[in-house]
Amino acid sequence: MGFDTKKSKNVTKNIAASKDPSIARGVKVISDHVRSLPLKPGVYRMIAVDGEVLYVGKAKALKKRVISYTQIEKLPQRLQKMVSLTTQMEFITTHTEAEALLLEANLIKRLKPRYNILLRDDKSFPYILIDREHDYPQILKHRGAQNKKGLYFGPFPSAGDVNRTLSILQRIFLLRNCSDNVFANRSRPCLQYHIKRCTAPCVGYVDKEEYSQQVRGAQDFMEGKSDAVRESLAKKMQEASERQEYERAALLRDRISALASVQARYDVNSDIGDADVLALDYHKGVSCIQVFFYRSGRNLGNKAYFPRHSSDDEPSAVLAAFIAQFYQSKSVPRQIVVNMPMEEEKLLQQALSDKEGYAVRVLIPKRGKYKQAVDFALANTRQALERHLTYSTTRTALRKGVADLFGLEEIPSRIEVYDNSHISGDKMVGAMIVEGEDGFVKNAYRTFNIKNSLASDDYGMMREVLSRRFKRALKEDHGPGSPSWPDLLLIDGGKGQLNSCREVLEELGIFNSLTVVGIAKGPDRDAGREKFFMHGREMFQLPVNDPVLHYLQRLRDEAHRFAIGTHRARRRGAVSQSSLDQIEGIGAKRKKALLLHFGSTKAIEGAGVEDLAKIEGLSRAMAQKIYDFYHDE
């Protein structure tokens, strides 16, 4: 009780010292919670009046950590602002501090609080899978849960890295990449066989034992045993030559040559084993972290990240927060090599070990093989950060040019661009893309399948798209002032589309809260002759070589690309559907069985109940249901 009384006096003093009533209110909210908090590890959330989570933190002792936010004079201005916005708090106690660290990383990734250090790009990484569920295993790219039986190699930083490695494996080991369905229905070799990328197991050109040796060779190669693979191929080539099987010997020679060229290009450091090497560089309030993936001593590639954080966050704290979030949903290697000491390094190591169930070491090397690897990563990090800062400076200047051009009071932090796509009113799709301060925000892109049959022209489509987008925003309290509210709307179209937008926005009472600009293509749809339309302003154009015009063209073209892609996907989906999809109880297996038996939907329509009932897995009642569907007058 003595602890609470002493802290209570300090809280009262801090409230009195604050001249800002909102800060005083926030301090009171926090101090009210402090009285009931335990001296146990856990996670806390600071929440604004609209329910937005402002900050997620973890603590070894919740009471001691949370009460520090009431000592306003010791907090930087950024955190004072956070306290002023806090209207409620939530808490979760945990058994250990390591458990609290993992829970904090999970919540930060899911809630994306604005005052936390945040890893913004956190997609899952692709792997290479040699599928073991078939007598002749298939090699393919895999992303997601590793539920299939087989051998997984990775992770790879990008799909491009996987595709390049797959191409190498096919050139050297001639493994099939076709689906099981294609494999089962081949009657003659495909192109892959003729260009020497496959041994055609689908038509029996290679037996199971020999194909298994090909698979084993690919596995050895991915495990860093390239020398053993080369020796094995050389031995087989010599044996084929002695048996005067010169075509086979020539094929093996070509595979050895391909392996040699790959070994020459690959950066191999077999002493490192399985490890992730991370290096952070920091300049002008911006951090870059490069992650290099080493598996079986082979460098599988690297990826650069630019986490969001405040300019007063220490680089060591940024790196620690990044690692906690980065590995929250990814497998952790047994060694993580970094270029600097970090806050709570031992705690982070313990948390990752608990997560994986084996010991994970965090290394800060001073010399030797790991130091060479981390120095190499740091050199790449510095180059990436320099490019990023140059690009950011250019983009900031362009966005300032946009603000000046359209009369915005501030540089826009969120620009939304809208476009439509359809063919003669069929499969109409509206699309919205978003450009933020750091480039395109892909996870904020949205598509709108046009529902209103009366919206058969561009004007009607635009009305429906904007109506649905902003009605939902207002319903979810994401109105003016929220992070997801746009500073600028760009509409692909001229004066007609602009008037349609104005009607919708005025009906919702938000027209004066938005700046809306129509971009119409020039005569003959020539790039560089675009016309700009704004309410209360005459149509205007920009010089053909104006950098701001080129920037706006890129935004417009991205929206067009996204709309066209979505429309094509919708049309492909429609083509793949049939009338069978409209019959309740007909799933993929029954549909396949019907089509394999009758050959076409038209033949199914003409079949009688008795004919339909002969299909394996189809009851008489279901056969009657299908018949009635096609013959119901």
Is residue 326 within 8 A of residue 120, CB to CB? The reply is no
**Which residues partner with 349 through β-bridges?**
none
Neighbour-count burial of 123, counting CB atoms closer than 10 A to its CB (0-12 exposed, 13-18 middle, 19+ buried): exposed
Position 277 confidence tier, pLDDT thresholds 50, 70, 90? very high
Q: Is 184 helix (H, G, I), strand (E, B) or coil?
A: helix
Q: Where are the alpha helices (DSSP H) in 41-130?
A: 62-67, 77-85, 97-111
CA atoms within 13 A on the CB side of 631: 12
Q: Where does the pLDDT of residue 380 fall: very low under 50, low under 70, confident under 90, or very high at 90 and above?
A: very high
Mean per-residue pLDDT for 106-119? 91
Q: Name residue, tokens 């595979």.
A: 255
**Looking at 12-16, 245-249, 493-497, 555-559, which range is the least confident one?**
12-16
Predicted local distance difference test score (pLDDT) of residue 4: 46
Backbone φ and ψ of 224, nearest 5°: 85, 15
φ/ψ (deg, to 5) at 455: -85, 65
Q: Which residue has the higher pLDDT, 205 or 4?
A: 205
What is the tens place of the pLDDT at every residue in 162-206? Answer: 888 888 888 888 999 888 888 888 889 988 888 888 999 999 999
Instruction: Report, as an integer, the average pLDDT of 589-608.
Output: 80
Q: Is the pLDDT of residue 311 over 50?
A: yes
Residue of 115, 120, 296 whose CA lies nearest to 219: 296
- pLDDT value of position 239: 87
Planar angle of CA 550, 438, 540, nearest 5 degrees:
30
Residue with tokens 């009472």: 509
Residue 105 has pLDDT above 60, yes or no: yes
Q: Alpha-carbon distance 431 to 466, whole Å?
A: 10
Find the helix or strand (DSSP H, E) in which 576 lies: helix 547-576
Q: What is the pLDDT of residues 555-564, one digit of tens each?
A: 999 998 888 8
Angstrom distance (rounded) from CA 626 to CA 630: 7
| 163 or 631, greater pLDDT | 163
- Give tens-digit pLDDT for 282-301: 998 899 999 999 988 788 88
411 token code pair: 């540089």
Model confidence at 526: pLDDT above 50: yes
DSSP-derived secondary structure letter, 597: H
488-492/516-520 β-pairing = parallel
Contact 334, 359 (CB under 8 A): yes
Whether the per-residue pLDDT at 313 is higher than 60: the answer is: yes
> How many Cα neighbours within 13 Å face the side chain of 379?
6
Q: Which domains does the chain have, with CATH numbers?
A: 2-111 (3.40.1440.10), 127-265 (no CATH), 275-388 (3.30.420), 415-574 (3.30.420.340), 579-631 (1.10.150.20)
Provide mean pLDDT across the span 613-629: 85
Mean pLDDT of the chain: 85
Mind giving me the DSSP string for 442-476? GGG-EEEE---TT--SHHHHHHHHHHHHHHHHHHT
Sequence-distant (6+) residues with CB within 8 A of 161 are 126, 300, 301
Q: Is the pLDDT of residue 453 over 90?
A: no
Q: How confident is the model at residue 617 (pLDDT cuts 50, 70, 90)?
A: confident
16 confidence band (pLDDT: 50, 70, 90): very low
Mean pLDDT of 610-624: 85
Quote the radius of gyration of the chain (alpha carbons, Å). 31
Q: What is the DSSP letter of 347?
A: H
Each residue of 339-355: pLDDT tens digit?
999 988 999 999 999 99
pLDDT score for 280: 97
Distance CA 347, CA 98 (A): 6
Backbone φ/ψ region at 514: left (φ over 0), alpha (ψ -120 to 50), beta: beta
Decide which of 398 and 596 is more confident: 398
Q: Is the pLDDT of residue 269 over 60?
A: no
Rounded to a whole number, what is the distance in angstroms from the first to the last CA of the chain? Answer: 82
Band the pLDDT of 573: cuts 50, 70, 90: low
pLDDT at 455 over 80: no
- Say how many CA atoms lie within 13 Å of 179 toward its Cβ: 3
The pLDDT value given to residue 412 = 93
3-state helix, strand, coil in the chain (%, to 5): 50, 20, 30
Instruction: Please write down the long-range contacts of 140-148, taking CB distance under 8 Å and 24 or more positions apart.
Output: 140/166, 140/177, 141/166
Report helix, strand or coil for 589. helix
User: For residue 509, what are the CA distances in angstroms to 491, 514, 518?
Assistant: 19, 11, 20
Residue-level pLDDT at 279 = 97
